[in-house]
Structure 1
Amino acid sequence: MKLAPEGLDVVVGAEVWRYDGGRVLVGGAPTRVLRLSPRAFEFVRDSRVAACDPTSRQLAARLLEAGLAHPDPETLPAVALDQLTVVIPVLGRSAALQRLLSGLQGVRVLVVDDGTPEPAATALHQVVASAGAELLRLDRNVGPASARNAGLGQAETPFVAFVDSDVVVTADALERMLRHFADPELALVGPRVVGTPHPQTWIARYENSRASVDLGIRPALVRPRSAVSWMSSTCLIGRREVLAAGFTAGMRVAEDVDLVWRLCEQGWRVRYEPRVVVEHEHRQRFGPWFRRKLFYGTGAADLAPVHPAAIPPAILRPWTIAVLLCLLAARRWSLPAAAAVSGVAAWRVHRRLSSTTRSRALAVRLVGGGVVAALTQASALALRHWWPIGAVAVLCSRRARWIIGIMALADGLVEYSRLRRGLDPVRFLLARRLDDIAYGTGVWLGCLRRRSFRALVPAIVSDRRAGLPLSGKVHRKAGIDGAQ
């Protein structure tokens, strides 16, 4: 059993459910149920595990690997910034680069000019020289992935940060992320990315409330098919030796998703740290914003051949499909039938959790979460990935108009109530639907270009393979390792 490094304090996630006075933990990536042994419970009683001896280090390692706990950056040892090289790929954008470099005093910075044409190149190089940064000039534009690789090849420090030129980040924020590498299993860490303040347009205000690169307020272990399944290359820090192969050369979209998934497949940990926040200058005008969303969507088809298990737009189980079919039938018997299917699923989960205190309540909660997840995924399919099919259905069927209309309204209102709102409800709902249409169109274009529709096909996973309704497994192991 692996041991966490001594001094690596971890905190049980706020999203983890607790039962039996905290002796049973439910959560993680994928979702699992852990019953703590009496000795392990003593370490977790106050939600914090201080890795100070073999027992606590073993428990901390298990909680980290399960995604049930996260390191506390405030208690981790500091890392000198001379251990870091910041690589900034840039094409033009002299003003944005100057703003970024002003916050990186005292850090080694390597700016990779990705083939900026003159006269913009001269202005860009002057900004780099004035800031005391290093410059690597590429003769032609190779795209951000290959430009980052060029900078990675020049780095000699143990850690490398990749930062986009339209970001505002400080050396202090980078140092706080570096602390996470006290975990020897960690390959990559990224911060929360929010919009720069005072957006000027309604599209920018929407992006500031719901940007694609903003992954929320909770720390997470990043894994495919989990709550946080990817991270943006807007700002990342990684171990140079682990990133030796770099990004996939030539990829101009989804190269960050590809990197994260490759690292996960290799057994490395990737962590999202929202307690460190950087700012990103979102697009202000509708045209560039819509085209960028569409461009992002095209990346799904590129990822499908190399990450077939991670790319499905929805993960459904037979019983959740049965619930969805009952509800989508929109008949008088729909709700009773859906409730009956859910009841059977809860009974089956209860039988598997019979050794867990209050397993009935836990089974109902898990199945209820599974139903909500299935409804959310069905809505995303109809409104985002499959929206052309949904549009045809709306034209041909009155029932489809009602169902998709309710999905569109409910989805928008839920998101509007959940997020920091910079818009009125009408414009927020309009932007939300345009966001989905743009991304979904990109997915279809990418699939047509590759002549493969794998990126549009949901995965159906059997209950035996999936474990718990929320895509997890039940782990029962005895002893001091923290679960039984």
Structure 2
Amino acid sequence: MTAAQTRPDRSSTGGRGGPADRRLPDGFRVLLDRRTRLLDGGAALLGGAPPRLVHLSATARALLPPPGRPLVVTGPTARALARTLLDAGLANPLPAAVPAVGPGEVTVVVPVKDRPLDRLLAALAGTGVAGPIVVDDGSADPGPLRRAVRAAGGTVLRHDTPRGPAAARNAGLAAARTPFVVFLDSDVVPEPGWLPPLLAHLADPAVGLVAPRIVALDPGDGGGPRGAVGRYEAVRSSLDLGPDPALIVPRSRVAYVPSAAMLVRRDAVGDPAFDPAMHVAEDVDLVLRLHAAGWAMRFEPASRVAHDHRTRPGEWLRRKAFYGTGAAPLAQRHPGAVPPVVLSPWTAAVCLLLLAQRRGATAAAAVVTAAATERLSRRLTRLEHPRRSAALLTALGLSGALWQSASALTRHFWPLAAAGCLVSARMRRAVVAAALAEGLADWWRHRDRDPRVRTGLPAHLLAHRLDDLAYGAGLWRGALAHRTTAPLRPSGPRTRR
């Protein structure tokens, strides 16, 4: 098998030791991701996280089942192929009927401050997990919380003064006595059947973290989320990473998972797991450190945890801006891991030519694209149709670059774009085109994510633009506070080693 193995990027700081054993057990099943493309009759696979082209040997091609059927680990060769497909993000595990880990090996840790936990404690009843550890992070009146948790068979730890959610989670982790810990925020409610799909991933000894899908909490009348912001958040919340399973990899489709709900292997995260100095983006920091250390992480949408989204406009916008402030400390701790855009030199040149809107710019962009296609085809001579495959790859790369550029123009760089609009008609046209095109594409991609709600295009477009403005404002505020341009620097694709 000549498929390139995925090697963790170790440029980030703070990673712990990786898994000692990466062997998949016999009977483990993997299924090609629906985004993975087969080229030349299966001689190569295109896809993964981040996207790459993987060549397969004749032996690997013979083992690979037809699309829609799983590969079952039955020996060393199938085990190596399955490992390669998983590590590249080209395939996803199929959960076993009986998880390798029982709920009795799991402790739930909940950080809380001035919030009742009745809904969450009721949802945990009967799951078989060890009694929850609730960390009261300085609630003004701890009595009702203590009584409710003890009635549910749990334990309460208390910080007399608030230390933040990261420190609270660390305190609960230190008190847990099980090899696996689930972190749940106080404003979530796990849906029935949420735990087994997460536990199933632990059959892979290389998996250090598994996260469920975060969906909008139903207000209780069965009618779904209400209000313009509530409907938008139900389909477009930054906590909801979509309906498809994925490998969690920085700079990919699922680059992070929120700590609102996640299952961790204690041997992977160590103690403490979260940096208590971080009051925002501490979950992304954990993901980046685990990735740097060589641990695999999985996003499992078959497990669903409902979240009580903020839907009051002012509160919602402040939260979005707060998320944006986390980009600066992340970029300083993990250089190059959270860039606003990732562009190759040729896609950057094409985007700049189109943005310039000068006479002949479109023709020049076409020439650059054709040259990039021809150059790439010369590197794909192992394929039967190198030019055809190169054309597909450049088309995918250019479409992704255009989408990133339009998004960054109205999100990360909107203060610069706004300044440019004051003096340039071309910039005004570019910003309007980007805002409308990217907004339309975003609405189309997310409009059906929650069957309980329907968001019209105008409402979605307005909310999406406000979302981006708030996040961008927070990003610039964080960059100024930390005196760094790191979260604003574009990056190129990383060379795979």
Note whether the superposition's TM-score is higher than 0.5.
Answer: yes
Aligned to 2:27: 7
Q: How far is 1:170 from its partner?
A: 4.5
Q: How far is 1:275 from its partner?
A: 2.0
Q: How far is 1:415 from its partner?
A: 1.1
Give CA deviations for 1:364-386 in whole Å, capped at 9, x if unaligned.
11111111111112112210111
1:70 corresponds to 2:99: no
Aligned to 1:380: 407
Q: How far is 1:196 from its partner?
A: 1.6
Aligned to 1:297: 324
Contact residue 4 and residue 51 of structure 1 kept, 8 A = yes
d(CA) in 1 for partners of 2:156 and 2:308? 23
Are residues 359 and 275 of structure 1, via their aligned partners in 2, closer, same or farther at CA, if it must alter by over 3 Å?
farther
1:168 corresponds to 2:184: no
Q: 1:441 aligns with which of 465, 469, 473?
A: 473
- In the TM superposition, structure 1's runs of 4+ consecutive aligned residues that sit over 4 Å from their partners are none
Where 2:476 maps in the other structure, the secondary structure is helix
d(CA) in 2 for partners of 1:276 and 1:286? 29
Give CA deviations for 1:222-268 in whole Å, capped at 9, x if unaligned.
11111211111011001112222310122110000000000000111
Residue correspondence of structure 1 range 236-255 to structure 2 within 5 A:
236-245=262-271, 246-255=273-282
Are residues 185 and 76 of structure 1, via their aligned partners in 2, closer, same or farther at CA, if it must alter by over 3 Å?
farther
Question: Which stretch of the first structure deviates more once superposed, 361-370 or 171-180?
Answer: 171-180
Aligned to 1:343: 370
Aligned to 1:56: 78
**Structure 1: stretches of 5+ with no match in the other structure:** 467-471, 474-484
| Amino-acid identity (%) | 45
Aligned to 2:14: none
Paired AA for residue 136 in structure 2: D
Paired AA for residue 92 in structure 2: H
Contact residue 225 and residue 310 of structure 1 kept, 8 A = yes
Contact residue 9 and residue 75 of structure 1 kept, 8 A = no
1:222 corresponds to 2:222: no
Q: How far is 1:103 from its partner?
A: 1.3
Residue correspondence of structure 1 range 413-432 to structure 2 within 5 A:
413-420=440-447, 422-432=454-464
Aligned to 2:221: none
d(CA) in 2 for partners of 1:237 and 1:185? 14
Contact residue 9 and residue 76 of structure 1 kept, 8 A = no
Contact residue 104 and residue 171 of structure 1 kept, 8 A = no
Contact residue 194 and residue 279 of structure 1 kept, 8 A = yes
Where 2:84 maps in the other structure, the secondary structure is helix
Contact residue 22 and residue 45 of structure 1 kept, 8 A = no
Q: 2:230 aligns with which of 198, 204, 212?
A: 204
Q: 1:127 aligns with which of 122, 142, 148?
A: 148
d(CA) in 1 for partners of 2:333 and 2:236? 29
d(CA) in 2 for partners of 1:359 and 1:227? 26
d(CA) in 2 for partners of 1:395 and 1:305? 32
Residue correspondence of structure 1 range 388-403 to structure 2 within 5 A:
388-403=415-430
Question: Which stretch of the first structure deviates more once superposed, 421-430 or 288-297?
Answer: 421-430
Count the aligned residue pairs.
461
Aligned to 1:178: 199
Contact residue 8 and residue 76 of structure 1 kept, 8 A = no
Question: Which stretch of the first structure deviates more once superposed, 415-424 or 253-262?
Answer: 415-424
Give CA deviations for 1:154-191 in whole Å, capped at 9, x if unaligned.
01101000011111115731222011011111100101
Where 1:294 maps in the other structure, the secondary structure is helix
Paired AA for residue 314 in structure 1: V
d(CA) in 2 for partners of 1:452 and 1:314? 17
1:86 corresponds to 2:113: no
Give CA deviations for 1:65-108 in whole Å, capped at 9, x if unaligned.
111111111456342110000001111220xx211111111322
Contact residue 43 and residue 383 of structure 2 kept, 8 A = no
1:104 corresponds to 2:124: yes
1:136 corresponds to 2:169: no
Where 2:277 maps in the other structure, the secondary structure is coil
Paired AA for residue 443 in structure 2: Y
